[in-house]
Amino acid sequence: MGMLDLGLVGATRRNHGIEHATIHILSEQFPQLGMAGRADAGGFFILGDVPTEAIAPAVEQAMARVRGGEHGLVVHPRCGTNLVVAGVLAGVASFAAAAVIGGRRNESGLARLPGMVLAATAGLLLAQPLGPKVQEKWTTSHEMGSAYLKAVKRREGRGMVVHRVEIGTAKPGEAPTSSTLV
């Protein structure tokens, strides 16, 4: 067990993985619906007009499938981690290109632009395989441990449906409680 598996960070990474796996399953059931999620140490949110009664079974199935070895479910192609990795790589590559080109040739900012765009594009291309690896290693976890579904709560407002999915952790020797819908 590493540092990233401890405390709030570990719980957040686990819940982020459960969120991704749940969204994979809900997307199979409701391919026409757009969904988004956001995880924290207590669970996660699902944004989208998903039927409330479909969420608890999807969470339970997600955890069972990940526990059963389908670890790829914790990585999602539309995760914000991919966007952050792409932004960082494109920005760093562009900055480095501007510094190298400008320092070498004493060129103006506009003259550096083609090199900066090329470098940023290379950074974006590198981010495509790297983003999912960052998710897999750092921002999600397939280690479910004694996690269990505590509750699913539906909220509506301003034309948006949000579900709060609460994830609990059973103590050693304690049986997890059953899930509840509120």
User: How many residues are given for the chain?
Assistant: 182
pLDDT tens digits, residue range 6-35?
Answer: 689 999 999 999 999 999 999 999 999 999
Q: Where are the beta strands (DSSP E) in the chain?
A: 36-40, 43-47, 147-157, 160-169, 180-181
Domain 3-75+140-181 CATH class label: alpha beta
3-state secondary structure of 46: strand
- Given the DSSP bridges, would you call strands 160-169 and 43-47 parallel, antiparallel or unpaired? antiparallel
Distance CA 32, CA 43 (A): 25
Q: Which long-range contacts (CB under 8 A, 24 or more apart) does 114-123 make?
A: 119/93, 119/94, 120/90, 120/91, 120/93, 120/94, 121/90, 122/93, 123/86, 123/89, 123/90, 123/91, 123/92, 123/93, 123/94
Domain ranges of the chain: 3-75+140-181, 80-139
Instruction: Report the predicted TM-score, pTM, of the whole model to 2 decimal places.
Output: 0.86
Give per-residue pLDDT as tens, 57-84: 999 999 999 999 999 999 999 999 999 9
